[in-house]
Copies of this chain bind each other. A is one copy, B any other.
Amino acid sequence: MKPTSPFLPLVRELVRTYQAFERLSAGHVRSMGLTPAQFDVVATLGNTEGMNPKQLGEKTLITKGTLTGVVDRLLDKSLVQRLPDPHDGRGQIVRLTEKGQALFEAVFPTHVAYMAKALAGFDSTLLGPTQQALHALRQVLEQAGGTEDDA
């Protein structure tokens, strides 16, 4: 029997754990009337003066073409506004409206509390080590992505 990669179980567990998180999180976010991508954008803009779509895309990992659409839909809901960028005539600043800010303040803590409650059973002594291990794993993955030489 050929030995499969020792990394497979780790990767599988990463995927399953993320999926469990995502299902829980997305379900709650949707019940508040936002898609995960929309929540991501609102949460990223919360407590900021706004930022241009490029920065927003980098933080949320949403590509620019898609981001235009996500922002459009948030605009339809009057949750964000597009302002001209004073420093760059090509650019713009996407910023929460008052309504968006109010939603952020109502929804973000609720969501954090919801997730915190869900995670309450997790052994807190594992918090730090798990986080560090994930971070190390991410470093490796990002480096591989940056290098990008095909197998």
Contact = CB atoms under 8 A, between A and B. Distances in A.
A31 B151 CA distance: 11
A120 B14 CA distance: 16
Nearest to A5: B116
Nearest to A60: B19
B126 A133 contact: yes
Contact of A135 (B13, B120, B131, B134): B13
Size category, A interface: 35 or more
A52 B102 CA distance: 47
Contacts of A24: 141, 144-145
Interface stretch (A66-74, A80-88, A93-101, A107-115): A107-115
B138 A20 contact: yes
A17 B135 contact: yes
A130 B127 contact: no
A138 B11 contact: no
Contact of A13 (B116, B121, B131): B131
A17 B19 CA distance: 13
A47 to B, nearest CB: 11
Contact of A122 (B31, B123, B140): B140
Given A129-B129, A133-B130, A141 B17 contact: yes
